[in-house]
Chains A and B, each alone.
Chain A
């Protein structure tokens, strides 16, 4: 079978929601989430082998979406720091304590190293067990526990210095 543009278009229809739903949660911005959806599948057109070798298409999409969104969060944080502005909440976020708390989580994710941030996303935002997180990160369950402890420690320090 050829995984050509037509096949990837079909994959977009059948699996695109896996990207859009999580990008919305991670970014809190509908336009940004839709952009991630488009970019991930456009990238597949350039490199269809990326998903053909994956054991699980859903797993591969989880990894690609998380990586993409964390990069965007880090870029937003960097841009805001350069401009000496606060990072604005996502366009779809309501105001109030819940919206601010959600924005705080995204600011934290932008601060954390890639592997630590990914562990936080998978465990806390996707509800995965340590075993499931380990499968996506390609590490041991013990390592997942260490990454999550590190995340909480970094978060506590960030709150203290805020």
Chain B
């Protein structure tokens, strides 16, 4: 048998790796556009993408492995938003969420950034002014009327900026929807003071390091790439 033609051989033009990376937002902007254009006009690659999506939906419906723990209880949270939340138990310090300062844009164009928090056994949607505990597990959800490339960054009280989402160098694509949960939860650390969140919504998978560096260098009104909009939150740990 020739290895180039086996029953297990891949049948699409683009490799499985390239298609998987494209679907998970790991490709650069130019490459992602090339792949997207090709997939939309190629039956074999479209079929491959449909197959990948099918398995993705299967895994989302599977129970979590025992080692990853039970998903968080669905209390006071819309069912779609909490599916697979799986947050861990929390710790002790007090964090108070405040709305963005006057003059800062908080919401526009149907975009939204929401934070879900687990404290003890309870999971709830955090709101401006609500008390949450640092050390609590948190997970973000976004609202966008059209598919967008999204990232959530933060500037902690010590002036260190980090990227909460995604675990990749570029903004990751999320589908259109209301309070679409982002993968990868996190846990608030114990550093006291004000922490600022920046959620960006872009038309392309922009590089995140320049934005993160800008936050650290004190560019509070940091100019975002031309095809991005930003949402900001602030909260204070005390």
Footprint of B on A, CB under 8 Å? 1-18, 20-22, 25, 34, 37-38, 41-42, 45, 51-52, 56-59, 62, 98-99, 101-102, 104-105, 120, 122, 124-129, 132, 136, 148, 151-152, 155, 159
Contact of A155 with B3 in the complex, beta carbons under 8 Å: yes
Q: Could you say which residues of chain A place their CB within 8 Å of the CB of B167? A: 1, 3, 11, 51-52, 57
Chain A residue with Cβ nearest B87: A6
* Main SS class of interface, A: helix
Q: Could you say which residues of chain B place their CB within 8 Å of the CB of A38? A: 65, 67
* Shortest beta-carbon distance from A151 to chain B in Å: 6
Contact of A132 with B17 in the complex, beta carbons under 8 Å: yes
Interface residues of B in 34-72 (CB under 8 A from A): 51-52, 55-56, 58-60, 62, 64-65, 67-69, 71
Please judge, given known A-B contacts A6-B185, A8-B68, A124-B3, whether A56 and B139 are in contact too, CB under 8 Å.
no
Chain B residue with Cβ nearest A2: B187
Contact of B10 with A127 in the complex, beta carbons under 8 Å: yes
Stretch at the interface among B18-26, B73-81, B102-110, B202-210: B18-26
Contact of A155 with B1 in the complex, beta carbons under 8 Å: yes
* Shortest beta-carbon distance from A55 to chain B in Å: 8
User: For B52, B67, B86, which residue has the most chain A Cβ atoms within 10 angstroms?
Assistant: B67
Q: Can you list 11 residue pairs at the A/B interface with Cβ under 8 Å?
A: A5-B68, A5-B86, A6-B69, A7-B186, A9-B64, A9-B68, A9-B185, A21-B52, A45-B67, A58-B24, A122-B17
The answer to whether the Cβ of B183 comes within 8 Å of any Cβ in the partner chain is yes
Chain A residue with Cβ nearest B187: A2
Contact of A20 with B59 in the complex, beta carbons under 8 Å: yes
Q: Could you say which residues of chain A place their CB within 8 Å of the CB of B62? A: 16, 34
Please judge, given known A-B contacts A9-B69, A58-B24, whether A105 and B17 are in contact too, CB under 8 Å.
no
Distance of A53 Cα from B187 Cα, bound (Å) = 20
Distance of A129 Cα from B6 Cα, bound (Å) = 17
Contact of B184 with A11 in the complex, beta carbons under 8 Å: yes
Contact of B1 with A132 in the complex, beta carbons under 8 Å: no
The answer to whether the Cβ of B12 comes within 8 Å of any Cβ in the partner chain is yes
Distance of A69 Cα from B9 Cα, bound (Å) = 16
Contact of B185 among A7, A17, A56 (CB under 8 A): A7
Contact of A59 with B184 in the complex, beta carbons under 8 Å: no
Contact of B68 among A18, A25, A41 (CB under 8 A): A41
Q: Could you say which residues of chain B place their CB within 8 Å of the CB of A128? A: 15-18
Chain B residue with Cβ nearest A22: B16
